[in-house]
Chains A and B, each alone.
Chain A
Amino acid sequence: MQKFSGFELFRRALGGHKSWQPQWRNPEPKAEYDVVIVGAGGHGLACAYYLAKEHGITNVAVIERGWLGGGNTGRNTTIVRSNYLFDESAALYEHAVKLWEGLSQDLNYNVMYSARGVLMLAHNHHDEISFKRHVHANRLNGVDNEWLNAEQVKEFCPPLNIKSMRYPIIGGALQRRGGTARHDAVAWGFARAADSRGVDIIQNCEVKGIRRGPDGAVEGVETSRGFIRAKKVGVSAAGHTSVVMAMAGLRMPLESYPLQALVSEPVKPAFPTVVMSNTIHAYISQSDKGEMVIGAGTDAYTSYSQRGALHIAAHTLDAICELVPQFRRLRMLRNWGGIVDVTPDRSPIIAKTPVPGLYVNCGWGTGGFKATPGSGHVFAHTIARDAPHAINAPFTLERFRDGFLIDEAAAAAVAH
C-alpha cells in the first residue's frame, strides 16, 4: 500500500502524479476463503479490515453485488453521534465514536471526521424532559451531552430561528463530540486498508444462494461468479438482509423501508453544526462541499425501490424552512432514497444465527453510518471468535424470542 502523507503528495507531484497506484486490487474470486462477508458497504469492509488487523484472519473475501460503498454507505447523511438512552446502545455507539476519533490515522485515509456537534432541538415540554433525561443517562455512561437553553442554542447555531415559528425552540441537547464524516471516504479507506492486508474485495458479484451441508452448517455461497467455499459467512447486506438470509432459510425480524435524503446547491459555509428536530421532523448539516444535507424519517411502506414519495421530502423541507428561514431561497440539487432494514425495537442485530457458520450484522435502520467502525469491529470479533464481543452481546437475534428488547424506538426521541 502506498502510504498517503504530505511528503508523498509533494514527491509525486514532482512526477506529475503519474506514479499513484490503484487503492485496491480487483481480484478474481478464489475457490475458498476462511470468511466471506456479503456486502461491501462501510460495515462489511470495516469488518473485513478488523478481521485482518485484530484477529489475523486475512483469507477473507468481501463480495458485493454492485460497487463498493454504492449502497447505503453512499446514500446516508453522514451523521456521527452516540447520545443513545439505553446502556447497551450507548456502549455500542460510543465504541464507534471512539474509533471515529482515531480512524483517519488508523486507516491512513482522511475520513474527514468533523466533531462539529450534534444539536437536538426541543420544541415542547415533553422534548425538554425527555432530552434532559437523555443528558443525564448519557453522562452516567460517560457519553458527553449537555442541555442548552434557547439563547444558548441560538448562540451555538446562529442561523436557527428560535422564536417566530409554529413550534418555537425552547432548548436543545448538544453532543459536542458528534458531527459528520465523509461517507465515501469511509468505504474507500476501509477498502484500501483491508485490501492491503490481503482481503479480496470482489465487486459485481451477486450472492445467489447460501449452501449448507448435511449438518446444517454453512459451506459457502453461490454467486453470479461461481461457488465460493467458506466455513464462515457474515451477512452485512443492510436493506437486502431479509433477501440474503432467506437463502439460508431464515426469517428475520426486519422490514425494509425507503429513507430519503436530499442536498441543496453548494453554498459558502453557513451552517456550523448538525441540527436535528424530531418534533418537526427534519435534520440538516452542511457538507464540506457546501451542500446542505437534509433528511428525516422513512417513507410509510416497505419497499426496495430506492425512491420515496415527494410529499415526505416536501414535509421535511417545510420543517427546514421554519428552522432556518434563510434557506427558503436555497434550491435543492438532488434527492434519493436508500433501503434501510428496520427491526421492531430499532436496535441492530450483530450476532450469530441458528445456522452454524452464518453471522449477521443488520437492523441498523435509519442510523447505521455513525456506527460503521464500531459495528465492523465487534462483528469481526463475533466472526473470529464465534462468540460476541461484550459490547454486542445484547444485540442478538434471540432477544426477540426472549423478550430482551433494546427499545430505542421509543427512547431515541429522534428519527435517527
Chain B
Amino acid sequence: MLIITCPWCGARPETEFRYGGEAHIARPADPSALTDQEWADFLYNRTNPKGLHAERWRHIHGCGRYFNALRDTVSDFLVTTYKAGEPRPENSRPDVEGSGR
C-alpha cells in the first residue's frame, strides 16, 4: 500500500484516495474546433510511461480535493505531491527513476 502525502492533509494510506489518471491533460478550450483525431488524443491517448508519471489523486476519504503526484511507475516510489494547478515539478530524486527495474 502506498503512503500518499495529500498537500492539504499530510501523509495518509492509499485506501483514503482514489486514483485519477494522468495529470496535466487540459480540456481543450474550444472542443468544436478540434479534429476527431485531436479529440481522441484528448479523451483516450495516454503517455503511460515506464518511469516518472505525473498523475492525479483525489483524497476521497479526507478533504475530497484533487491534487497531483509524481511517481516512478517502475518502483511505485512517490517522488512528490503538489497542488492542482501547479506546474509539474522537476524530479527532486533523480536517483529514484528506474530503480527496481
Contacts and interface: CB of A to CB of B under 8 A. Distances in A.
Interface string B19-58: 1011000000000000011011101111111100101000
Interface in A291-314: 300-305, 307, 309-311
Contacts, number: 72
A304 B50 contact: yes
A309 B2 CA distance: 8
Nearest to A253: B44
A255 interface: yes
B55 A302 contact: yes
A240 interface: yes
A257 to B, nearest CB: 10
A392 interface: no
Contacts of B41: 251
Given A400-B40, A401-B36, A401-B40, A301 B19 contact: yes
Contacts of B37: 401
Interface string B52-92: 01010000000000000001011110000000000000000
Interface residues of B, number: 29
Nearest to B1: A309
A242 interface: yes
B100 A305 contact: yes
Interface string A248-259: 000111111000
A243 interface: yes
Given A240-B50, A402-B36, A304 B74 contact: yes
Which range contains the number of A residues in contact with the other chain?
Answer: 20 to 34
Interface in A301-355: 301-305, 307, 309-311, 344
Given A300-B14, A303-B73, A303-B76, A311 B48 contact: no
Contacts of B50: 240, 242-243, 304
B32 to A, nearest CB: 15
B36 to A, nearest CB: 5
B49 to A, nearest CB: 8
A251 B45 contact: yes
A252 B73 contact: no
Nearest to A354: B37
A310 B48 contact: no
Nearest to B47: A251
B44 A310 contact: no
Contacts of A301: 2, 19, 55, 71
Given A300-B18, A305-B100, A400-B40, A254 B73 contact: no
B46 A251 contact: yes
Contacts of B55: 301-302
Contacts of A243: 48-50
Closest 8 CB pairs of A and B: A242-B48, A253-B44, A401-B40, A251-B45, A301-B19, A300-B19, A400-B44, A309-B1
Given A304-B73, A309-B1, 4 more contacts: A240-B50, A242-B47, A305-B75, A344-B44
